[in-house]
Protein backbone atom coordinates (compact mmCIF):
# COMPACT_ATOMS: atom_id res chain seq x y z
CA UNK A 1 0.00 0.00 0.00
CA UNK A 2 1.67 3.17 -1.22
CA UNK A 3 0.66 5.30 1.73
CA UNK A 4 3.49 7.77 1.52
CA UNK A 5 6.33 8.35 -0.89
CA UNK A 6 8.03 10.98 1.23
CA UNK A 7 9.13 8.97 4.19
CA UNK A 8 11.81 7.00 2.40
CA UNK A 9 13.31 10.18 0.96
CA UNK A 10 13.79 11.80 4.34
CA UNK A 11 16.96 11.35 6.31
CA UNK A 12 15.57 11.57 9.81
CA UNK A 13 17.34 13.83 12.19
CA UNK A 14 18.32 12.40 15.54
CA UNK A 15 15.48 12.07 17.97
CA UNK A 16 16.07 14.98 20.24
CA UNK A 17 14.49 18.33 20.71
CA UNK A 18 12.68 19.88 23.62
CA UNK A 19 9.65 18.26 25.22
CA UNK A 20 7.65 21.36 24.45
CA UNK A 21 6.32 23.19 21.45
CA UNK A 22 9.13 25.45 20.35
CA UNK A 23 6.61 28.12 19.41
CA UNK A 24 3.99 27.82 22.16
CA UNK A 25 6.45 27.61 25.02
CA UNK A 26 8.08 31.05 24.59
CA UNK A 27 4.65 32.62 24.20
CA UNK A 28 3.33 30.92 27.32
CA UNK A 29 0.66 29.07 25.38
CA UNK A 30 -0.45 25.53 26.01
CA UNK A 31 -0.67 22.51 23.73
CA UNK A 32 -2.14 19.03 23.73
CA UNK A 33 0.34 16.76 21.99
CA UNK A 34 3.69 17.28 20.32
CA UNK A 35 4.90 16.32 16.90
CA UNK A 36 8.44 16.41 15.61
CA UNK A 37 9.42 17.26 12.06
CA UNK A 38 11.34 14.37 10.60
CA UNK A 39 13.26 16.64 8.25
CA UNK A 40 14.68 19.19 10.65
CA UNK A 41 13.68 18.22 14.18
CA UNK A 42 11.28 21.11 14.72
CA UNK A 43 8.93 20.35 17.59
CA UNK A 44 5.40 21.67 17.21
CA UNK A 45 1.99 21.01 18.60
CA UNK A 46 -0.73 18.85 17.06
CA UNK A 47 -3.95 19.81 15.35
CA UNK A 48 -5.81 19.40 18.63
CA UNK A 49 -3.74 22.22 20.08
CA UNK A 50 -4.72 25.86 19.63
CA UNK A 51 -1.49 26.77 17.86
CA UNK A 52 -1.31 23.80 15.45
CA UNK A 53 2.33 24.59 14.97
CA UNK A 54 3.25 21.26 13.42
CA UNK A 55 0.83 21.91 10.57
CA UNK A 56 2.00 25.49 10.32
CA UNK A 57 5.57 24.28 10.12
CA UNK A 58 4.62 22.09 7.18
CA UNK A 59 2.95 24.96 5.38
CA UNK A 60 5.92 27.22 6.05
CA UNK A 61 8.68 24.79 5.14
CA UNK A 62 7.15 22.01 3.05
CA UNK A 63 8.62 19.39 5.35
CA UNK A 64 6.06 16.64 4.75
CA UNK A 65 6.34 14.21 7.63
CA UNK A 66 6.01 14.64 11.36
CA UNK A 67 6.30 11.94 13.97
CA UNK A 68 4.78 11.77 17.40
CA UNK A 69 7.03 13.34 20.01
CA UNK A 70 5.32 11.44 22.80
CA UNK A 71 7.82 8.98 24.29
CA UNK A 72 5.69 5.86 23.99
CA UNK A 73 4.31 6.45 20.53
CA UNK A 74 5.82 5.41 17.22
CA UNK A 75 3.79 6.82 14.42
CA UNK A 76 3.98 9.60 11.93
CA UNK A 77 1.78 11.71 9.75
CA UNK A 78 2.40 12.82 6.20
CA UNK A 79 0.70 16.14 5.53
CA UNK A 80 0.65 16.05 1.70
CA UNK A 81 -0.63 12.48 1.62
CA UNK A 82 -2.80 12.82 4.71
CA UNK A 83 -1.41 9.40 5.57
CA UNK A 84 -0.94 7.80 8.94
CA UNK A 85 2.45 6.11 9.15
CA UNK A 86 3.08 3.19 11.46
CA UNK A 87 6.70 3.43 12.53
CA UNK A 88 6.73 0.51 14.92
CA UNK A 89 8.29 -1.83 12.36
CA UNK A 90 11.96 -2.86 12.35
CA UNK A 91 12.87 -0.38 9.61
CA UNK A 92 13.16 2.62 11.86
CA UNK A 93 14.88 0.80 14.73
CA UNK A 94 16.68 2.31 17.62
CA UNK A 95 14.72 5.32 18.66
CA UNK A 96 13.66 5.05 22.26
CA UNK A 97 14.60 1.41 22.51
CA UNK A 98 16.08 0.66 25.91
CA UNK A 99 18.93 -1.75 26.16
ZN1 LIG B 1 4.00 11.37 1.98
ZN1 LIG C 1 2.51 25.19 19.39
ZN1 LIG D 1 10.96 20.77 9.51
DSSP label at residue 76:
E
Domain boundaries defined on the chain: 25-86
Of the pLDDT bands very low, low, confident and very high (cuts 50, 70, 90), residue 84 is very high
pLDDT score recorded for residue 96: 52
pLDDT score recorded for residue 55: 98
Residue 83 CA to ligand 2 center (angstroms) comes to 21
- Counting ligands in written order, the one closest to the CA of 60 is 3
Measured in residues, the chain has a length of: 99
- Counting ligands in written order, the one closest to the CA of 56 is 2
% of the chain residues with pLDDT over 70: 87
> Which class in CATH covers the domain with range 25-86?
alpha beta
Beta strands, E only, 1-99: 34-37, 43-45, 65-68, 75-78, 83-86
The DSSP-derived string for 5-17 is SSGGG--PPPS--
Amino acid sequence: MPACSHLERITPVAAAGPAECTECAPAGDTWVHLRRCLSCGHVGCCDSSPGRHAARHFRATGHPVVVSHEPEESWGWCFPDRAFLDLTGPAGSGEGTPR
